[in-house]
Chain A
Amino acid sequence: MAVISFIDAITMAMREEMRRDSNVFILGEDVGVRGGVFRATNGLIEEFGEERVIDTPLAESAIVGVGIGAAAYGMRPIAEIQFADFIMPAVNQIVSEAAKMRYRSNNDWHCPITIRAPFGGGVHGALYHSQSVEAMFTNTPGLKVVAPSTPYDAKGLLKAAIRDEDPVLFFEHKRCYRLIKGEVPEDDYVLPIGKADVKREGTDITVISYGLTLHFALQAAEKLAQEGISAHVLDLRTLYPLDKEAIVEAASKTGKVLIVHEDNKEGGVGGEVAAIVAEHCLFDLDAPIKRLCGPDVPAMPYSPPMEKYFMLNPEKVLEAMRELANF
């Protein structure tokens, strides 16, 4: 099996789906001849032409809104938002339109659109090229929110998103794009949206995460194993709707839960995960539910020491895990 980068898995998923189904097409800024500013659509215009890989005007609400209209008609658009930070003009289209189309029409219309957006920091992107905006969308029934952390998951979940009959917001941590590599089969497979995945089995503490910080947790778990601490690591993969069963199972297994995400703490996805654990696992818990998250400041500053301060890293995660294990 080939070892490829996270971003190559994204490209592979789109190429395979475009070959499989002529209704699949891409629209976004610089997705055509430039192949995307991160190169996620690299080579696709050459294979599928500018009819199916559409360089749009610079206007996010139209990128999503036009995609919604095409999806309602029966197409399978993949709308690329260049940076998750720039999704704000399209929020009305995502939340008021895509997410509600099926419900408000009593199942007459539906909207199978996939909206891809690179999120997260650690790339000197400053305030407006680093944000984690997922929590703004994880309170929206009708929408599915996916954030894979490995190339294998990225390919299988993106293919599932494209085939899904409902709108899927697909967040890709941009630091993962070239940093994270992994084995990815070249054959066709899809992974279920709405299912979390145990990335490491353990018995002493449970870490629940997604995106880049999931890898920090795995690295920390490796080190802690040498100290005799066994960490169980759950990758949420889908942020809405959450896989409650998997969260409850993972939390109950060790009785000590640490939730880790790069998005800021208050109002983040971790709060919902903690509430699920609190509702269902109170008598299994041996420690308070802990959260390690980005700080509650508006966004990530540009200056390197400030960015470093904002970002989590394996050491910070390891420290929090050790502290919980010792509770």
Chain B
Amino acid sequence: MTTKRHEQVGLTDAQVLDMYYYMLLARKIDERQWLLNRAGKVPFVISCQGQEAAQVGAAFAMEKDRDFLCPYYRDLGLVLVFGQTARDCMLSAFAKAEDPNSGGRQMPGHFGGKKYNILTGSSPVTTQVPHAVGMALAGRMKQKDFVVYASFGEGSSNQGDFHEGANFAGVHKLPVIFFCENNKYAISVPLKKQLACESVADRAIGYGFPGVSVDGNDPIEVYRVMKEAVERARSGQGPTLIEAVMYRLVPHSSDDDDRVYRTREEVEEAKKKDPLIVFAEYLREIGLLDEHKEADMLARVQLEVDEATEYAENAPYPTPESTMTYVYGE
């Protein structure tokens, strides 16, 4: 019998099944959005496919309603664990008034919501990193013990805001977790043209805090390193940089064609390590998942996605005149 790796890191059977559920939900929402896009029903999709294990593993190491997220546009799996629903995501995809991120103002993937402890985000990459540091600073000033999570891609780790934010957090030993989702591509530009160092995690040494590289296809490993980072942050030992290494399984967005910059062989090879497949295998090996349970879970997820799609498609748009509201406090 295979060892239950998840128990060694403090995860229960119920928790790992939940993790798999959130990964599957993220994947199925994402896949549906591509279908809707190709059917001409939603203008744009930005994908989480291939990154669900890292996102869900990271989210499980934090506390919903206590910790804060400053995510980036691929973090669908992460925000689902923090309370966003399939319906929320579809409302955002259809740009409807009820979209909790922005009331239909922003493109999909620009997550936010005070009720979920998710700070509103923008499209210029990595601007959320200093925000996370500022929230952590505020938390310290108000004597709170929450941690703040900021995620970004490996390409974004070249931005000045990454450096400025990480340095500030290092100097002030703030409870921030810098979570890099290294999916190997910044749109079309591969890792080797983005970084000269071996790993994004290597950058941490310059800021005086630990940097850890982890297999982003393994939610249990991601959970383990995240849990350590959360404990470090909560106990006043300062930030951690985590690099989760994975592969972006689909084009950058619905407007991209990845055939011009990477081979199909490379993509097919990466798909063998698809975290959904690998994690399901693990759960089957240890006897937590069988054909029957898997079918049940899939049916539950499909139903959620179907209902969310139907609801969002029929939901009202914001009124045209509401374009004029909330420029300033009213």
Contact = CB atoms under 8 A, between A and B. Distances in A.
A70 interface: yes
Interface in A96-133: 96-97, 100-110
B102 A68 contact: no
Contacts of B101: 105
A74 B130 contact: no
A109 B114 contact: yes
Interface stretch (A56-64, A227-235, A289-297, A314-322): A56-64
Nearest to A99: B327
A57 B167 contact: yes
B137 interface: yes
A246 interface: no
B141 A105 contact: no
A89 B113 contact: no
A102 B329 CA distance: 8
Given A57-B168, A61-B160, A104-B102, A25 B141 contact: yes
B120 A65 contact: no
B119 interface: yes
B134 A67 contact: yes
B127 A97 contact: yes
Contacts of B330: 107
A64 B168 CA distance: 12
A71 interface: yes
Contacts, number: 141
B325 interface: yes
Interface stretch (B37-45, B103-111, B260-268): B103-111
Contacts of A101: 120
Contact of A92 (B112, B127, B139): B127
A219 to B, nearest CB: 35
Contacts of B103: 106
A106 B102 contact: yes
A138 interface: no
Contact residue range for chain B? 35 or more
A53 B326 CA distance: 31
Contacts of A97: 122, 127, 131
A52 B137 CA distance: 11
A108 B111 CA distance: 12
A51 B329 CA distance: 29
A79 B120 CA distance: 21
Given A59-B168, A61-B160, A72 B326 contact: no
A96 B131 contact: no
A66 B328 contact: no
A87 B330 CA distance: 29
Contact of B102 (A51, A64, A105): A105
Nearest to B131: A69
Nearest to A194: B328
Interface of A: 25, 51-52, 56-57, 59, 61-62, 64-75, 77, 89, 92-93, 96-97, 100-110, 141-142, 144, 165-166
11 contacts: A57-B171, A62-B130, A65-B127, A65-B134, A65-B164, A65-B165, A69-B70, A72-B120, A73-B68, A74-B138, A103-B326
* A-B pairs, 5 with minimum CB distance: A69-B134, A65-B130, A106-B103, A69-B131, A62-B164
Given A57-B164, A107-B326, A109-B119, 6 more contacts: A57-B168, A62-B161, A73-B139, A105-B102, A107-B330, A144-B328
